[in-house]
Amino acid sequence: MLEGIFELIFAILVSIGKEPFKDIIYLYETNTTGNFILLIVLLFFYFLLTILVNAYKIYCNVIYSPMARTLIDYLMNPFFIIYYYFTGKDFNNNYLYFIISEIISIVEDLFGGIYNEYIILFLCGMEYETKDMIAKRALSLGNMTLLNTKEDENESNDNDSNHDNKNKDIKNEDKISFGNYEIDL
């Protein structure tokens, strides 16, 4: 929010003493109505996409790591390579450089997805340390601990009728006993 406020203040300061709509008025006067409407529609889409990109940046800064945040930039690289090849701005019409660059950018996107755990490979144990598998193991271990605790409580309730003091914590001045175990302090 502060960034937007500073951008607005700087935009006002830069436009003082200048006519900011001079170029738009010139385009309106020299182009047809259809081209000017197209310009306005494209400007609207530009502002809308700017809003989406800024919202995405804020969302990713809160939720994801910087590596995950820049992954979307890497996903656009194959499209930029194709665009620059066909507009003639890069590769000097050399098919070999174009194909090698395209393959490298696609492989880079694949490994970026694997590193950020958007793509999980279930081979050679590569899935073992991913967030999803760790969460599943934690839930299964947590459920096993709860089951064991309930079983222990049921057994201790049965044993309490015979041995009231056996499974209770007893604290003496120099040792603590729990069940059959004693710990010296």
Model pLDDT for residues 47-58, shown as the tens digit of each residue: 999 888 888 777
CA-CA-CA-CA dihedral for 95, 100, 104, 107, to nearest 10? 90
| Whether the Cβ atoms of residue 109 and residue 74 lie closer than 8 Å to each other | yes
118 DSSP assignment: S
140-153 pLDDT per residue, tens: 766 665 556 655 56
CA distance 27 to 15: 19
**% the chain with pLDDT above 70:** 72
Q: Is residue 123 very low, low, confident or very high in pLDDT (cuts 50, 70, 90)? A: confident
Task: Of 118, 110, 119, give the one whose Cα is nearest residue 75.
Answer: 110
Q: Which pLDDT score is estimated for 41?
A: 92
This model's pTM is above 0.75? no
Phi and psi at residue 11, to the nearest 5°: -65, -40
